[in-house]
Amino acid sequence: MVNLTINNKKVQVPEGTTILAAAAQVGIKIPTLCYLKEINEIASCRICVVEIEGKETLVASCNTVVEEGMVVYTNSYKAQHARRMNVQFILSEHDAHCTSCVKSGNCSLQTVANELNIGEVPFEEHYEVNEWPQDFPLIRNASKCIKCMRCVQICEKVQGLGIWDMINTGKRTSVGVSGRKKITESDCAVCGQCITHCPVGALYERDDIDPFMNAVHDPEKIVVVQIAPAVRAAWGEGLDLPREMATEKRLAAAVRALGVDYVFDTNFSADLTIMEEGNEFLERMTHADQYSWPMFTSCCPGWVRFVKSQYPDMTKNLSTAKSPQQMFGAVAKSYYAQILDVDPSRIFSVSIMPCVAKKHECEIPGMDDAGAGPDVDLSLTTRELDRVLKAELVSPAFLEEEEFDQPLGIGSGAGVIFGATGGVMEAALRTAYYVLNGKNPDPEMFKMVRGMDGIREAELEIAGIKIKAAIVNGLGNTRKLMEKIRSGEAEYHFVEVMACPGGCVGGGGQPITDGVELADVRRRNLYHLDKKNPLRFSHENPSVIKAYEDFFEKPLSHKSHELLHTDHEA
């Protein structure tokens, strides 16, 4: 252990601890803008500087390790003066039109500047302006960038893609797409992890609220909304709604209060996905020599973009089942239009997703199989949902809980866990067990696939059939696994991939609490919802059963192939 003094307080911490962490241990919160534990410890913002007795120069507390007998002052005149000046420098290069910034109220620069009582900026103000394709789902506004490098590091170290890089030199040093490419020409997976780790408003999703509300106000349009599994675990965070208030049913009430016509649940089509993908897997197992192995899940569009750009020869391994978002859209404009007895072109189908890549997915050519425009007309993130609720003066705390609409509002516990890493695998295994044994397993039987580890493996035997499965989350981990599969070091039958750490609960479209990773808390919430749902199996979802009886006939039928599957190689 190391003994030191911080602001006259005695502190004892393990060797190797940074001053920043040691100070936090005694309740001293040193501000920082760039620091991300183990990901970005480069002290580029220099807001965390502290004075050490006997040393001429100030040091950055985020990457300076404690030493025995060290005497540290976090708020000496010298440290405070430098800290305030560093913030003023950053502000002089930052477009501080806060009122119209997407991060206003949730911006770390704004918070630090306010907390340090910075009233004016004594330097000449000048900021970079960039051009950016406004129709791409991921937007970068250079005038807000503080060059903290978090986006560069997250994309490189966590997502293994390295889309961002430092560009230019000296005073003109900035962040841009590496190789000086346009973002549209890059291999960006649109996962949005750089957005959720941006401390300011330099990175954000394309805002689709206006076209959404225009559709709501159009009397000709029937607006049908689906809400993704992971949204229910996080939507309250952006509204300061306590977790016990932020229920699924209050979420349904809030979305209905926006004036939409029908509020449905993506869990319904997650169950439908299990029926299609599960049967596809069993069909592949039966004719094993006709397929490339392993079979990959296909519901995460960040992952699908990744495999297409990084491992194009393995695109054929993706399940042909569309994602629940896209299945829902196709169902809304076919089967549901038939139930309503309306022309499908009147249906405007909207998804609310914890994801930025879903905006890309609904625009993929061919995702219009119902023949009435895109099957999903637009996709909003959880953050956009929170923004539109505020803009439309909807106060969920004052709303009574309401049910989802029927019949597409019924989802099983297996459907809800899709939102957590390992959930798709577990849901599929529950149904595979039923199909192969003719009876349900204990729904908790496949618990071993749960967890937050980046790569997990499971070997199972169902009705005498051995299944080797892997579950991976985060694209950096995915690359490691893909390399092992390629080299023959690892062999699996079924692999679930989610691009974001923790799965959709940690999605790039979720509310942002800077410096706090909430994926695990949200994940536990989904398993709790699964456990309390009387329906635990996708194949028992009565709305799914009825959809097959009345419309699709059976999994993998001609109609199912037409509407619920896609050719990823097209």
Please report where in the chains the tokens 């998804």 appear, as a residue: 351
Collapsing DSSP to helix, strand or coil, 319 comes out as coil
> Judged by CB under 6 A, does residue 161 bind ligand SF4?
yes
Instruction: Identify what 193 binds: ligand HC1, ligand SF4, none; CB under 5 to 8 Å per kind.
Output: ligand SF4
- Give the residue closest to ligand HC1 by C-beta: 504
Q: What's the rounded Cα separation, in Å, for the pair 364 and 536?
A: 32
Instruction: Identify what 96 binds: ligand SF4, ligand HC1, none; CB under 5 to 8 Å per kind.
Output: none
Q: Which residues contact 570 (CB under 8 A, 6 or more apart)?
A: 366
- Torsion angle, CA of 65/66/68/69, rounded to 10 degrees? 140
Instruction: Identify what 299 binds: ligand HC1, ligand SF4, none; CB under 5 to 8 Å per kind.
Output: ligand HC1
Q: How far is the CB of 238 from ligand HC1 (least distance, A)?
A: 16
The contact set with ligand HC1 (CB under 6 A) reads 228-230, 266, 270, 299-300, 323-325, 353-355, 358, 418-419, 503-504, 507
Residue choice 45, 50, 60, 189 for contact with ligand SF4 (CB under 6 A): 189
> Judged by CB under 6 A, does residue 155 bind ligand SF4?
yes
Of the pair 229, 278, the CB lying nearest ligand HC1 is at: 229
List, as one string, the DSSP characters of 4-68.
EEETTEEEEE-TT-BHHHHHHHTT-----SS-BTTTB-S--S--SEEEETT-SS-EETTS-B--T
| Residue 545 DSSP label | H
- Secondary structure of 251-287 in the HEC alphabet? HHHHHHHCCCCEEEEHHHHHHHHHHHHHHHHHHHHHC
Q: Which stretch binds ligand SF4 (CB under 6 A): 54-62, 161-169, 337-345, 363-371?
A: 161-169
> Judged by CB under 6 A, does residue 355 bind ligand SF4?
no
Instruction: Identify what 191 binds: ligand HC1, ligand SF4, none; CB under 5 to 8 Å per kind.
Output: ligand SF4
Instruction: Identify what 331 binds: ligand SF4, ligand HC1, none; CB under 5 to 8 Å per kind.
Output: none
> Judged by CB under 6 A, does residue 225 bind ligand SF4?
no
CA distances for 491 relative to 318, 453, 484, angstroms: 15, 19, 8
Site string for ligand SF4, 489-518 (x = CB under 6 A): ------------------------------
Q: Which stretch binds ligand SF4 (CB under 6 A): 79-87, 184-192, 247-255, 489-497?
A: 184-192
Helices (H), 138-265: 150-153, 193-196, 209-216, 248-257
Residue choice 6, 109, 188, 275 for contact with ligand SF4 (CB under 6 A): 188
Please report where in the chains the tokens 């896609």 appear, as a residue: 566
Q: What's the rounded Cα separation, in Å, for the pair 385 and 225?
A: 11
Of the pair 355, 425, the CB lying nearest ligand SF4 is at: 355
> Judged by CB under 6 A, does residue 193 bind ligand SF4?
yes
Instruction: Identify what 307 binds: ligand SF4, ligand HC1, none; CB under 5 to 8 Å per kind.
Output: none
Of the pair 374, 503, the CB lying nearest ligand HC1 is at: 503
Q: How far is the CB of 154 from ligand SF4 (least distance, A)?
A: 6
Q: Do 296 and 321 meet the contact criterion of CB atoms below 8 Å apart?
A: no
> Judged by CB under 6 A, does residue 307 bind ligand SF4?
no
Q: How far is the CB of 323 from ligand HC1 (least distance, A)?
A: 4
Q: Which stretch binds ligand SF4 (CB under 6 A): 44-52, 189-197, 345-353, 509-517?
A: 189-197
Of the pair 11, 138, the CB lying nearest ligand SF4 is at: 138
Q: Which stretch binds ligand SF4 (CB under 6 A): 54-62, 157-165, 333-341, 546-554?
A: 157-165
> Judged by CB under 6 A, does residue 202 bind ligand SF4?
no
* Residue whose C-alpha is closest to residue 119's, from 83, 81, 88, 86: 88
Contacts 24+ apart (CB under 8 A), 92-101: 92/121, 92/123, 92/124, 92/125, 92/126, 93/125, 93/126, 93/127, 93/128, 93/146, 94/127, 94/143, 94/144, 94/146, 94/200, 95/127, 95/141, 95/143, 95/144, 101/144, 101/201
- Cross-strand partners of 469: 458, 494
Report the site for ligand SF4 in 245-264 (rule: CB under 6 A).
none
Q: Taking the mean position of all CA atoms in its chain, how far away is CA 54?
A: 46
Of the pair 247, 309, the CB lying nearest ligand SF4 is at: 309
Q: Which residues contact 206 (CB under 8 A, 6 or more apart)?
A: 134, 135, 136, 137, 138, 139, 359
Q: Do 414 and 426 meet the contact criterion of CB atoms below 8 Å apart?
A: yes
Report the site for ligand SF4 in 115-144 (rule: CB under 6 A).
138
Instruction: Identify what 354 binds: ligand HC1, ligand SF4, none; CB under 5 to 8 Å per kind.
Output: ligand HC1
Q: Which stretch binds ligand SF4 (CB under 6 A): 190-198, 285-293, 438-446, 465-473?
A: 190-198
* Residue whose C-alpha is closest to residue 145's, from 204, 219, 86, 57: 204
Q: Which stretch binds ligand SF4 (CB under 6 A): 27-35, 154-162, 426-434, 523-531?
A: 154-162
**Apex CA 505: angle with CA 326 and CA 301, to 5°?**
35
List, as one string, the DSSP characters of 54-70.
T-SS-EETTS-B--TT-
> Judged by CB under 6 A, does residue 192 bind ligand SF4?
yes
Of the pair 50, 475, the CB lying nearest ligand HC1 is at: 475
Collapsing DSSP to helix, strand or coil, 295 comes out as strand
Q: How far is the CB of 474 from ligand SF4 (least distance, A)?
A: 11
Which residues make up the interface to ligand SF4 (CB under 6 A)? 138, 154-155, 159, 161, 163-164, 188-194
